[in-house]
Structure 1
Amino acid sequence: MKIHLSSVFVDDQEKALRFYTDVLGFVKKHDIPLGEDRWLTVVSPEEPNGTELLLEPSGHPAVQPYKTALVQDGIPAASFAVDDVQAESDRLRALGVRFTQEPLAMGTVTTAVLDDTCGNLIQIVHSK
């Protein structure tokens, strides 16, 4: 068994697509119209057939309280592996990304947390 799909709830799918592709560097995998919304997924360019991230509309009534609580408590909605957290946070900051947690080394793991502009906190992580 392996993870095929995971999702992050986004306030605006088009805005999320731009952020997750143009800023974070993922590539669009699927974009299928579903009424007012889309089945919109992105993947890592390093693993085009790997796990897909669904940029899921946050229209369900339970989603906004959930997202608000996570952000207020500083809890990331997703975590993405990078080779160098400091270098990646520098690159993203140069693109205007706002961080809520600067790179922090904790033993064999370094993390940072950023705002995805779509209502979520996202963690980047590197394990030695």
Structure 2
Amino acid sequence: MRINLTSVMVDDQAKALRFYTEVLGFQKKNDIPLGEASWLTVVSPDEPDGVELVLEPSEHPAVKPFKEALVRDGIPFTSFAVDDVAKEYERLTELGVRFTQAPTAMGPVTTAVLDDTCGNLIQLAQMNE
């Protein structure tokens, strides 16, 4: 058994696609129209056949209060692995990304938390040696 897909709920798929590709650096894998929304996935350029992140429309009534509660409490919806959190923090800050947590060492990991502009907080995590 392995993870094939995971989702992040976004308030605007076009805006999310721009952020996740042009800012974070993922690559679009699928964009299949399904009525008003699309089956829209991105992947890591380092693993184009790896786990796909679905940029899922957040239209279900339960999604908005759930996302708002996570953001209010400062809880990231998901986490992305990076080789160097400090380097990514600098790169993304220069691109105008808003962070709610600067790089912080937490035992075996260093993390930072960013706002994805689509209603989510996303954690970046680096394993420490």
Question: Smaller-chain TM-score range?
Answer: over 0.9
Deviations 1:5-26 (A, max 9, x none): 0000000000000000000000
Question: In 1, Cα distance between the equivalents of 2:19 and 2:78?
Answer: 14
Aligned residues: 128
3-state DSSP of counterpart to 2:32: strand
Matched, 1:28 2:28: yes
Matched, 1:109 2:109: yes
- Partner residue, 2:122: 122
- Partner residue, 2:6: 6
Deviations 1:26-67 (A, max 9, x none): 000000000000000000000000000000000000000000
Question: In 2, Cα distance between the equivalents of 1:119 and 1:99?
Answer: 13
- 1:106: how far off? 1.1
3-state DSSP of counterpart to 2:49: coil
Matched, 1:68 2:68: yes
Deviations 1:69-127 (A, max 9, x none): 01001111110000000000000000000000000001221000000000000000001
Residue type of the partner of 1:76?
Answer: P
3-state DSSP of counterpart to 1:101: strand
The 5-angstrom pairing of residues 14-93 of structure 1 reads 14-93=14-93
TM-score by length of 2: 0.98
- Partner residue, 2:99: 99
Which runs of no fewer than 5 residues in structure 1 stay unpaired? Answer: none
Residue type of the partner of 2:21?
Answer: T
Question: In 2, Cα distance between the equivalents of 1:112 and 1:22?
Answer: 19
Structure 1 runs of 4+ with >3 Å offset: none
Residue type of the partner of 2:124?
Answer: I
